[in-house]
Amino acid sequence: MLVPAVALGCALLLAQTEGEEARVADVLPVLRVEPAEPPVIQPPASPLPRQDWYAPKVCLRLPPTKEVPSGQWRAQCDAKARRCLVAPRYERDAEGQETERPLERVRACTEEFHTPDAALLKTYRLEPAVAEAPPGWYRDERGRVMQFNFDLNRRLWLGGAWAPLWREGDAAGRMRADFGIAVEIPGEGRRLHRLRFIETELYLGDLAGFDSTLMRYDFSVERKEPLFRVTTFFGKPRRYDIDINLGLWMEVLHAEELERGATEAGFLTWGAVHATLDLWHSKDLVSYVRVRAGPSVERDYKNGFTTLVPGAVLEGDLTLDRDGFHHLRLGVEAEKVLLAQRVEGRPLRPERLRVSAGYEFILLAINDQPLSLVVDGRGAWREDLANVPARWEWSAAAGLRYSLWAPARRSAPKAPDVGE
């Protein structure tokens, strides 16, 4: 009697187990997505497609290959097209073999074990690609990244140039060293703030001297509403909007010291405030042509008195190309010294005139920092130097400038938009 009971129990238990296995088998195909075969990466296209900087990435681990033995890849996948662009997570050498250097300047990717559908992605068509690069940067097919777009209005620079000076046929050989810090900060609405710190030029050799400014600040703005709206009624009514984009320019602690023969002069501007009017500016406000005018308070520290110096300037600052390789600066300036004490050998109210034009061109980059060629020409006419006849003097300079920090421009394109 005991044996038939045990046999019956075993039969019922086996039947129940088989039913549960059947129900589990019905569920598993839905929960578990396994590729029928190991994922295969397609042959590379020419040129290789590029991953998008802004698209999300998944860190996939695929079967090792000869070129990528680690099997670690970055995937950008399109569920609709069932396609993934995959790039190795490490740079490759000249022979195409994976190295130990991880890719630089890439966005973080989601690790495979945090991605529920990682196994499903491995069933997609896997196509070799170049990993993403931030705007203004380019990545080659070995995964190495390089900057191709530079903002010369945001940088820290050091430079040197040969800068001789001519005065009535007499030439003075001089070297010029220059350095400074430039920053631009977009403001609310259509406004751009510019700052310059410790902008300095040192002249070494004949007729030595220096010109240095602790800080300059200015801003450009594009108003939302025109200041004047002019409507004409010759035939069909037509409206013309007249924009008056006024701004502000300020300077704090500008020092200039120079020598001409036996005369030495030194001037310290405590502060200057100018109103600015943009005659033209680019859409991003970076490039401009403007006029500015206003007073400054200046100390003639060689003669020991303080003066008021009103001035007016027409100036331009132009970035000539999309990637910031060509930069042009122009300026014409007039000043008159008021409230000065009488000094033997110079007028009571001396005047100054200055003209300048400079061009800077990026030659190459070292560690992604640009080395540029700088050429400029300047002219000055001044009556404020005692016992020095007022006449035009001209200088020209040619040299190199290295920027220790020059990020990509805010309008820099993405790498796929760069010509191959």
Domain span including residue 108: 58-147
Q: Where are the beta strands (DSSP E) in 89-154?
A: 90-92, 98-102, 110-111, 125-128, 137-139, 145-147
- C-alpha span between 104 and 94 (Å, rounded): 17
In a domain, 44, yes or no: no
My answer on whether 142 and 159 are in the same domain is no
Q: Is 21 helix (H, G, I), strand (E, B) or coil?
A: helix
Domain assignment of residue 209, yes or no:
yes
**Which residue, among 133, 114, 128, 113, has the nearest Cα to 65 in the 3D structure?**
128
Same domain, 404 and 338: yes
Query: Where would I find the H helices in 229-307?
Result: none
- Return averaged pLDDT per consecutive 10 residues of the chain, 420 residues in all: 44 42 36 61 92 95 94 96 96 95 96 90 95 95 96 98 89 94 94 98 93 97 87 92 92 96 94 97 96 98 97 98 97 97 94 98 97 98 94 96 96 71
- Give the H or E element holding residue 394: strand 393-405
Residues 262 and 221 reside in one and the same domain? yes
Structural domain includes residue 42:
no
Q: 133 and 247 share a domain?
A: no
pLDDT at 372: 98
Instruction: In whole angstroms, give the CA distance from residue 247 to residue 250.
Output: 10
Asked if residue 53 belongs to a domain, the reply is no
Residues 212 and 166 in one domain: yes
- The answer to whether position 267 is within a domain reads yes
Q: Which residue has the tokens 């033995």?
A: 69
Q: Rounded to an integer, what distance in angstroms lies between the CA atom of residue 152 and that of residue 150? A: 6
- The reply to whether 51 falls in a domain is no
For 337-392, strand residue ranges (E) read: 351-366, 369-382
Q: How many CB atoms lie within 10 A of CB 308?
A: 13
Token pair, residue 63, equals 């079967």
- Position 38 scores a pLDDT of 78
Quick one: pLDDT at residue 418? 59
Show Cβ contacts of residue 399 under 8 Å, excluding neighbours closer than 6 positions: 159, 160, 161, 162, 163, 176, 373, 374
pLDDT value at residue 30: 36
Whether residues 237 and 297 share a domain: the answer is: yes
Residues 143 and 237 in one domain: no
Q: Check residue 420 and give its pLDDT.
A: 47
Give pLDDT, residue 274: 98
pLDDT at residue 122, as a whole number:
92
Q: What pLDDT is stored for residue 17 in this prediction?
A: 40
Residue type, 50: R
User: Is 47 within a domain?
Assistant: no
188 and 266 part of one domain: yes
Q: Give the three-state DSSP class for 365.
A: strand
Last residue of a domain, which of 91, 120, 147?
Answer: 147
Same structural domain, 143 and 159 = no
Which distant-in-sequence residues (6+ apart) come within 8 Å of 21 by Cβ? none
- For residues 343 and 310, the answer to whether their CB atoms sit within 8 Å is no
List Cβ neighbours of 239 (8 Å cut-off, separation of 6 or more).
229, 230, 231
Same domain, 324 and 284: yes
Residues 304, 344, single domain; the answer is yes
Please state the domain count of the chain: 3
The two three-digit tokens of residue 143, written as one number: 């995964």
Two tokens, residue 70: 């680690």
Q: Same domain for 401 and 267?
A: yes
Find the CATH number of the domain harbouring 357.
Answer: 2.40.230
Integer Cα distance of 361 and 373 in angstroms = 5
